[in-house]
Structure 1
Amino acid sequence: MSNKQNSAKFSDNELVNFKPLFKLTHDQEKGVQPAENIWLSASAGTGKTQVLTARVLRLLFQKNVLPRNLLCITYTNAGAAEMSERITQRLAKWVRLPGDKLFHDLDALGIDPNPENQKLARTLFARVLDTPGGINITTIHSFCQKLLSTFPTEADLIPGFQLMDDREKSDIIRQCMNILAIDAENNDNEFLSLDLKKLVERLGEHNLIKFLAKCCGKEQQFWSIADGDGASRFAQLVSGVEFDGSWDDYFIKAAHNENIDQNFSILADGIAGEKSPMSKNRVVILRQWLSADNAQKISMFDDLKGVFLTKELTPKSVKTGWSKDASLHELVLETAEWILQILMQKNLAEYAEIAASAIRTAQYFLKIYKNEKRNLALIDYDDMINQSAKLLQQSAMGDWIKYKLDQRIDHILVDEAQDTNFDQWSIIEALCDDFFAGAGAGKENVARTIFSVGDFKQAIFSFQGTSPLNYSAAFERFFERIDNMGSDLNKRHLAESFRSTMPILQFVNAYTQYAGDEPLGEGHSDHYSQLGDTGRVTLLPLFGPIENENEDDGGHEHVFDTADNIDDDEEEYGDQKFRMADWLAQHIKSIIDNPPFLKRTNAYLKPGDIMILLQKRGQIGNLLLSRLHEYDVPVAGMDRVKLQDSLAVMDILAGMKFAVQPDDDYSLACLLTSPLLGWDHDKLLKYGLRPNGKSLWRHILSQKNLSDDGDLLMSLLSTADYLGPVEYIEHILNGPMGGMKKFLSRLGQGQQNAIHEFINLAIDFESRHGRSIQKFIMWFEIGDVEIKRDVGEGGSQVQIMTVHGSKGLQAPYVILADIGSNPDKKKDHDFSLFTPQNYEIPLPYPKGGQKTGNVKKAMEKAAQTQRDESKRLLYVALTRAEEHLLMCGVRAKDIPENCWYTHLEQVMQNLHVDQIEAGDVPNGKMIFELTGTHYHNAALNDAANSQNTAKVGNDLEQLPIWAVTAAQSEKPDARPLAPSKVEDAGDIPISNPQMIAAARRGIIIHDILQHIKITSSTLKLPQIIVQYIKDNYPHDDVQPDEIAQLILNLLHDKNLAKIFQGDAISELPIAAVIKGRVVSGRIDKVYFEGQKITLVDFKTSKKSAATYKELPKPIARQMALYCAAMHKIYPNHDVEAKIIYTQYAQMIDIPGAYLDEIINQMAQI
């Protein structure tokens, strides 16, 4: 067929829309040589996907290479689909492409565009279509699932097995936990019952299930350890315990030490003449030790600790309580070190005991889990990898399987290789075995190749079991095998970015130099670009606490849509998260209203060009969503959302709970204030006041003016008896309530995905468990369901997502919004130790003194690994930006040593970028800015005009006016005031372990006081409190008995004890207009007694006040506003206020006159 004929068949419209291939750069072309084994390191934005696609196309031009001989393994299904689409579409176009354009495409790929190759190019599309399944471009999991489905018997699986989803796996784990508990009661296993009891006491039921879930997929690791006593010996070995048998025996052996006895004798004689009580006490203890028998010495160990060690387990000062004779000081320190060594072994032995219990319990549980999966013909994702590796590593079986598949693989391509874990590499290596089998390594005239593309710097998925060390180790193994057969594995690098402009890349280069080789890998090259020097990198100071109540924060009031208690876990960041979110939302609003021209895209900035990145989902993301909505900025929801967190789903669930239990006042209140009924809180408070013992539902029925609402609620009740969960949800959405329309109108279109996923979940539940609404509610609430929103580049909405979710994406304007987060402050308490075979096994988190020896080393290593990954995560975040990069965040009083801001500030300083003044940036005013030469100077403000900016090649220009022009402030009464959001600026910062422990204790007491209810007898209350702490705070180093006694002491106050009776209301929301402003909040405890109302608020502040006059002004002001609001709502009632400092269980009464005086002094709220 002639080129002319082909051209005639290629329509004019197709010619207009046709996009020729970009010509490969020199480095890219070196990376796609089809006959070479290549290990390609591709930095962010360097055209990795284009190179991978070009490699596939180049291979198809090789003699004796058929589409079925290729296996391309990608990281995600979306990546596989994108690559398949690119290749298929390109081959389809080549069939009818005019000769000159086909010539260009082949030349761009580095293929000789001679007539023979042009003719071959036009046949490749048909060749791919004729191949069953086409080119095998797939994820490793999809490949394994297909392999196991074809050979289930060989893989020891049930034919027709199904892959579990996450929710189904969670259900089976809970079911296995129930079997485990039953077996512990009835089984003859000498360890099981005691081990399970220890773990429940240590972790609580919820955390024990989480621990066992982490063990799933690690059967090989756990079963490599001997069970029974063997687990105990293993736990002692890896923990660093240096003795066999009991600690008592070890201690007695260590105590029979002539040197120590001699030290004790010398020290006792040396201070015998001292007159201080401390010295006299020490003499008594030392001499008692010298005459004590073994049992007495064991009981005296704590006394010895008190003599030589502080409460923090450090040697006591030799200057206090000892003789001034310097010759004794060395003996004191020597003895203290001896005690520390014994204590370390004692603590390690205690941890080894709980670790052994965890190992034996996990081994037994995993057997149950395996049996349950087999009985149900199910496998999980870990099974797919493990069983496939096992299947292919049996050499004879692997060869036979590949023969039966009639698909001998000659070329393997691995995408995102840095995110491939050890077991996945073992599968790839098994598929490559024939490649390196000496003389049989290749077919006739066919070179069999391995191609890997990845980037050590972008290895960020350790929570999925990956490690960049696996990536490096895989290279070493492949290099050795290929070298042994006399060939080469060529290492190539790509550093030219087709994404980011030079100011972005200059900053990235400085960052990679600063971060170093340990976290980012060796041998990385500087990034460079041909995209010019347009762009800007801006580092804002962290938003910190307001130093005093009158400090100007920009003149803006703020909306706070989270719990109002300032002393909860957000206290460390006080108000700064809210101020930052508000400022950032205004900034985004200003640049959308006055969009800059983006030279990179040759267009003005639009909302879809903005991407906000977070290290993790949490309060900052929710606040940004709220504030952006407030300023009418088009914004998409978070990229991943827990279904249980969806407002629409929560409201539907409240309706279902009401249907099965109409007297559930809380669920009915949630339903009434949802979009379904549309009540506001004033209406709820008005009709919620009812006689004691009368449910809210009965009270509503008795109100004639609420008959319409009563009819709607009655329709929910009447249909619940015969509808299943699916039909009932449909009834709420499309029945008389018209729920779907109301949800979308009030909560936005973003709720549709969550609602549809909720319906799908109900359908799935009914197919497995029946049509009970009550069972569905229980089933839904015990497990998390996460939904993922499709995200892409551009579009019409601002994107908010995690850095992990942004992998593979880019945007002209990128904002890093939480650069102050502390990577060392982990809350999940993951902990692992390694077996002698280098298997990693999860274990319970160590407590207190158990964090020593090998255990401490493992914790420090894990912490360093986490810090290294945090640095790689920052690299990924920085390289999402095309032209603009804005970085901001919040801090407590001190900036964490290893947070992103610390790194970024140092990078700016390394680049010799000076700070400049920015008028609209609160909490610091000074910013770092690195920029190119595209923008003309614009006055930042009068003060900034005199500032010299840094220079990068050319004079650094100031921020354009659109970047710093704040959105117009709202009127003072536009938004509600939350009184508890005024932080106690006088609070002492948490700066040492003792203060941290005290703060945690206060939070725990706060939690208990919020939820506690006193019955007629308090005899069992201490046990209840102790068990509650063990179940909910298993990792906190607190004394449950001490907390229980402290709370009991507090309850001895008869006036306060009534607050914790069943009639008291917890977390009561209130709202009222005070001095022209809406005041809204949530009070911890409220008790109604006749015409008197008692308000109690709990504080976990690190310092307390002795009297009400010493209360910090923000707290006094908060309580004054609360009381004023309650007076407004209940004008005929007396209102009293109390503060409880939970760290000390200290109660302070605040006189009403004092609170009235505060309100009168408020000129403006």
Structure 2
Amino acid sequence: MEKTGAITPGDFLVLVQRRGGIFHEIIRACKNRNLPMAGADRLRVGAELGVKDLTSLLSYLATPENNLALAEVLRSPLCGVSEAELFELSYGRGQKYLRQVLEAQKERFPGIVSMLRDLRAKSDFMRPYELLEYALTAHGGRERLLARLGTEAEEGIAALLDQALAYERSGVPSLTGFLAWLESDEVEIKRQLESRSDQIRVMTVHGAKGLEAPIVILPDSATPRETVRSEILSQDGLAVWKTRSGEMPEAQVALNEEIKARQSEERMRLLYVAMTRAESWLIACGAGEPPKEDSKSWYAMIRAGLERAGAVSGPAGVELRLSSSDWPADAVNTPLGGRDDSVPSLPAWVAEIPPAPVKQPDPLSPSDLGGEKALPGTAGEAYSEEEAKLRGTALHLLLEHLGDAPDSAREDRAASLMEPFGFPDSQDLIAQASGVLEAPELQFLFGPNALAEVPVTAQLPELGGRQISGAIDRLLITPERILAVDFKSNRVVPDSPQETPEGLLRQIGAYASALQQIYPDVPVETAILWTQTAELMPLPHDIVRDALLRTHIS
């Protein structure tokens, strides 16, 4: 006996023959007694009950019509719906989705409906990790899972969160992508338990090679492993299907016995590994049902060896004990681990209430800087503001997607683009777009050197540093100049830049100011393409800048 000081949790190493039921039961029992545990050396993330519940929640949020996923969430600790309540919700609903039935009974399940609504609303813009953490924290998911499944569920939950972070580092994160990533492979985490820490370690004998501990416990040593588990055997390089023991031909019986002999040799090697991991104490236990033939179990071999070595009967619960020295009579019995459980004092800043975060104003849209957007037209010709915007959107789509279409396919593509709008005069819009695209003097705007629908954002000094965010219809970039062109579908076209409506000038001025910050050494030019007349109107820099300076931001 080498160790005679106080025993700490880190002195214990529990070795099992395989990761079966007793493996997880040992970890669960120790955690239930609040013993410090290093956890399992391997963790199959997808097999954890808490992870399954959270994965079902993510599946439902990704596809709210997934009845099975919603049923799993309702029955999980996250919602706590009983089996009878779930049956009442599901039975007789006809073609309705389970979500619709649940929503109709929101007075009966107000908390559940509110939680699921909130999570669905946030699932569109939260990353998988954020969504999981929000469900676990803001809606008490972690507390509910641990209350039902026990503290051992914490490991699986933490592993799932780690996997969510790992997924987000691999590319652009999305909820459906994360679910597919989880399903594509069985994620198994291997922990490094080699370093000695003040925690009880539980692992297989295979994983313990090279490790040592003052106290080693073999809990399942009474169970012999005499079966050939594989259904397909290999004989002379050929695959052989294993038949029932009473129907085996002689050749397969011999092969089966040969495999058992090799397994027996491997078990003896593992027994040697298990016994030699102990620095001071080796404790062999016989958990489970006693075997019919006890002589081949590790427990029987260790017992026979102890008897030959002169072991004596131990205290109650100990069949045999062999020791080379006695425990010192003056040994001090200290609390487990000798830990200091006093609560440390917290720094003062922990109790301080932090100031409320300053909400940054939303970016401004260049098209919403105020001012008139159109000149007065002839009576009966003007469209409502909403209709004018819709027609402008349709024209933008045509100009964006018809430019690179072959002549033979242009008509079909135009009809397909116009179909969702349902304009009675859609042919007039198509003709207007075709007139612009076919104008010789405008071809350079739709060639390969022109960029379409270019997003731009910047903080503009003319607006007091406020940020704008918009999209430029056409942008041409050359070493000599930058040209930004915006399409306008106004029915009344001004005769000169000076007569251009104020709101349009402010919009173009915002684009020019942003581009000048990006390209400070290159002249920035702007123009409006009037689709009604297929005319490109250059705008002087002073006019658009002055209009931008006249903008009043509330």
- The answer to whether the 8 Å contact 1:793/1:811 transfers is no
Following superposition, the deviation at residue 782 of structure 1 comes to: 5.9
CA spacing shift, 1:783–1:691, aligned 2, 3 Å: closer
Give the equivalent residue in structure 1 for 2:91. 692
CA offset at residue 757 of structure 1?
Answer: 4.0
- Contact 1:614/1:816, CA 8 A, preserved across alignment: yes
Query: In 2, distance between residues paired with 1:637 and 1:766?
Result: 30
Query: Which residue number in structure 2 is paired with residue 928 of structure 1?
Result: 320
Deviation of 1:670 after TM superposition, in Å, equals 3.8
Instruction: List per-residue Cα deviations over 1:424-450 (Å, max 9, x = no partner).
Output: xxxxxxxxxxxxxxxxxxxxxxxxxxx
1:900 corresponds to: 298
1:608 deviates by 1.1
What is aligned with 2:284? 887
> Separation in 2 of the partners of 1:873 and 1:761?
35
Unaligned runs of 5+ in 2: 335-554
Q: How far apart are residue 785 of structure 1 and its match? A: 1.8
Shift of 1:874: 0.8
Where 2:296 maps in the other structure, the secondary structure is coil
* Equivalent residue, structure 2, for 1:624: 26
Alignment-mate amino acid for residue 854 of structure 1: A
Question: What TM-score, normalized by structure 2, do the two folds share?
Answer: 0.51
Q: Does the CA-based 8 Å contact 1:712-1:737 persist in structure 2? A: no
Question: Displacement of 1:613 after TM fit?
Answer: 0.7
AA partner of residue 713 (structure 1) = L
- Using the TM superposition, give the Cα deviation of residue 750 of structure 1 relative to its aligned residue in structure 2, in angstroms: 3.1
Residue 871 of structure 1, CA deviation: 0.7
Give the Cα–Cα distance (whole angstroms) in 2 for the partners of residues 692 and 752 of structure 1: 32
Q: Kindly indicate whether the alpha-carbon contact (under 8 Å) linking 1:809 and 1:880 is maintained by their aligned counterparts in 2.
A: yes
CA distance in 2, matches of 1:632, 1:616: 24
Contact 1:634–1:797 (CA<8 Å) still a contact in 2?
A: yes
CA 1:642–1:828: 2 relative to 1, 3 Å: farther
Alignment of 1:753-1152 (within 5 A): 753-760=158-165, 762-763=167-168, 771=174, 773=176, 777=179, 780-781=182-183, 783-829=185-231, 831-835=233-237, 843-848=239-244, 851-888=248-285, 889-892=287-290, 894-916=292-314, 918-919=315-316, 921=317, 927-935=319-327
Over residues 595-616 of structure 1, what are the superposed CA-to-partner deviations in whole Å (9 max), with x where a residue is unaligned? xxx32xxx31011111111111
Pair 1:710 & 2:116 matched? no
The structure whose RCO (Cα within 8 Å, separation 6+) is larger is 2
- The aligned residue for residue 641 of structure 1 is 43
Change (3 A) 1:820 1:764: farther
Change (3 A) 1:660 1:753: closer
1:727 Cα deviation (Å)?
Answer: 1.8
TM-superposed CA distance for 1:805, in Å, is 1.3
Partner SS for 1:928 = coil
Q: Could you tell me whether the CA contact under 8 Å between 2:119 and 2:135 is conserved in 1?
A: no
Q: Which residue of 2 aligns with 1:608?
A: 10
Structure-2 separation of matches of 1:730 and 1:914:
60
Instruction: Check 1:897–1:933 CA distance in 2 against 1; reply closer, same or farther (3 A cut).
Output: closer
How far apart, in 2, do the equivalents of 1:845 and 1:764 lie?
Answer: 45
Q: How far apart in 2 are the matches of 1:777 and 1:642?
A: 16
Please give the alpha-carbon distance, in whole angstroms, between the structure 1 residues aligned to 2:278 and 2:127: 46
- Conservation of the 8 A alpha-carbon contact between 1:612 and 1:816: yes
CA distance in 2, matches of 1:735, 1:686: 23
TM-score by length of 1: 0.25
Task: Give the letter aligned to residue 278 of structure 2.
Answer: A
* CA distance in structure 2 between the aligned counterparts of 1:762 and 1:669, rounded to whole angstroms: 27
Tell me the secondary structure at the aligned position of residue 883 of structure 1.
strand
1:763 Cα deviation (Å)? 4.0
- Structure 2 distance, partners of 1:802, 1:736, is 32
Residue in structure 2 matched with residue 730 of structure 1 by the alignment: 130
Question: Is 1:654 aligned to 2:51, yes or no?
Answer: no
Cα distance in 1, alignment partners of residues 72 and 198 from structure 2:
33
Amino acid of the residue matched to residue 55 of structure 2? L
1:149 is matched with none
Tell me, in whole angstroms, the C-alpha distance in 2 between the residues paired with 1:766 and 1:820: 50
Structure 2: which amino acid aligns with 1:742? R
Query: Pairwise mapping of residues 318-333 of structure 1 onto structure 2 (< 5 A)?
Result: none
Residues 822, 898 of structure 1: 8 Å contact kept: yes
Q: 3-state DSSP class of the match of 1:812?
A: strand
User: Deviations for 1:873-894, whole angstroms, at most 9, x for unmatched residues?
Assistant: 0110111111111111222462
Q: CA deviation at 1:772?
A: 6.8
Three-state SS of the structure 1 residue aligned to 2:189 is strand
Q: Please show how residues 169-208 of structure 1 align to structure 2 within 5 Å.
A: none
Deviations 1:194-250 (Å, cap 9, x if unpaired)?
xxxxxxxxxxxxxxxxxxxxxxxxxxxxxxxxxxxxxxxxxxxxxxxxxxxxxxxxx
Tell me the residue number matched to 2:354.
Answer: none
* C-alpha spacing 1:765/1:652, structure 2 compared with 1 (3 Å): farther
Contact 1:712 1:736 in 2 (8 A): no
Instruction: Measure the CA separation in 2 of the matches of 1:626 and 1:688.
Output: 32
**1:837-888 C-alpha deviation (Å, 9 max, x unpaired):** xxxx6x2532237732333322221111111001110110111111111111
Is contact 1:655-1:716 (8 Å) kept? Answer: no
Query: Displacement, 1:789?
Result: 1.6
- Distance in 2 separating the partners of 1:874 and 1:673: 44
Question: Displacement of 1:822 after TM fit?
Answer: 2.5
Seen in structure 2, the aligned counterparts of structure 1 residues 797 and 699 have a Cα distance that, compared at 3 Å, is farther
Cα deviation code 1:631-667 (max 9, x no counterpart) = 2212121100111123442222111222244455553
SS at match of 1:862: helix
- AA in 2 matched with 1:709: I
Aligned length: 322
Q: Structure 2: which amino acid aligns with 1:638? A: A
The residue type paired with residue 115 of structure 2 is L
Distance in 2 (alpha carbons) for counterparts of 1:857 and 1:874: 26
Q: Do the aligned residues in 1 keep the contact of 2:231 with 2:242 (CA within 8 Å)?
A: no
Given that residues 643 and 786 in structure 1 are in contact (C-alpha distance below 8 angstroms), is that contact kept between their aligned partners in structure 2?
yes
Q: Which amino acid letter does the alignment assign opposite residue 277 of structure 2? A: R
Task: Read off the aligned partner of 1:867 and give its amino acid letter.
Answer: S
Question: Percent identical across equivalent pairs?
Answer: 23
> Is the partner of 1:832 in helix, strand or coil?
strand
Query: In the alignment, residue 900 of structure 1 is paired with which amino acid?
Result: W
Distance verdict in 2 for CA 1:735–1:633, change over 3 Å: closer
Quote how far apart the aligned CAs of 1:771 are.
4.9
- For the pair shown, which has the larger CA radius of gyration, 1 or 2? 2
Equivalent position SS for 1:805: helix
Change (3 A) 1:737 1:750: closer
CA distance 1:934–1:826, shift in 2 (3 Å): same
More helix by proportion, 1 or 2?
1
Inter-partner Cα distance in structure 1 for 2:31 and 2:52: 20
* Mapped contact 1:611–1:811 kept (Cα < 8 A): yes
1:615–1:818 contact (8 Å) kept in structure 2: yes
Structure 1 distance, partners of 2:202, 2:71, is: 32
What is the SS of the residue equivalent to 1:689? helix
CA distance in 2, matches of 1:764, 1:810: 37
Cα deviations by residue, 1:938-969 (Å, 9 ceiling, x for unpaired): 9xxxxxxxxxxxxxxxxxxxxx999xxxxxxx
The corresponding residue for 2:407 is none
For residues 931 and 692 of structure 1, the distance between their equivalents in structure 2, rounded to whole angstroms, comes to: 66
Q: Is the 8 A contact 2:89 2:98 kept in 1?
A: yes
